[in-house]
């Protein structure tokens, strides 16, 4: 059983997630992994390093929570820098560009329909998000 529970069995306890162990299961950057589903939203984690692409999500808000490292979110109006333990919600339709000068661990909470590159389609687009299985 993975972290992601498609159908909950009332006879079992829901699994807890150790974020450090979950981040230890992969090394690639800009490739979100699915941990869980809450209502119609996905809880994803990703490692960020370097610059991403300018993009927006026409219909989806996006929550960025920095677990480790430092994340810069660039907007037309300026840049907001997030440290570990801080979060920011990018409202739907707002153009933004994430950037991390060193490897940064980020948890994302967003509608299940959200594509990581928004309206942009390129080599960084992840069409099918991998479900992250718990560490053994």
Q: Would you list the domain boundaries of the chain?
A: 32-114
Can you list the alpha helix ranges (DSSP code H) found in the chain?
19-23
Which residue shows structure tokens 């389609």? 121
CA within 13 Å, CB half, 8 = 8
- pTM of the prediction? 0.90
Residue range 32-114 in CATH 2.60.120.10: yes
Identify the DSSP state of 132.
Answer: P
- Quick one: pLDDT band at residue 14, thresholds 50, 70, 90? confident
- Quick one: pLDDT band at residue 57, thresholds 50, 70, 90? very high
């Amino acid at each position: 059983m993975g972290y992601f529970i498609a159908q909950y069995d009332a006879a079992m306890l829901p699994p807890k997630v150790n974020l450090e162990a979950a981040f230890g299961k992969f090394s690639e950057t800009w490739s979100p992994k699915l941990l869980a589903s809450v209502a119609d939203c996905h809880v994803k984690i990703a490692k960020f390093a370097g610059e991403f692409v300018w993009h927006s999500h026409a219909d989806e808000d996006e929550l960025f929570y920095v677990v480790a490292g430092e994340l810069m979110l660039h907007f037309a109006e300026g840049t907001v820098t997030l440290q570990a333990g801080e979060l920011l919600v990018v409202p739907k339709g707002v153009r933004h560009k994430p950037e991390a000068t060193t490897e940064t661990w980020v948890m994302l909470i967003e509608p299940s329909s959200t594509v990581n590159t928004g309206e942009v389609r390129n080599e960084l687009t992840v069409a099918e998000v991998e479900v992250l299985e718990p560490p053994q």
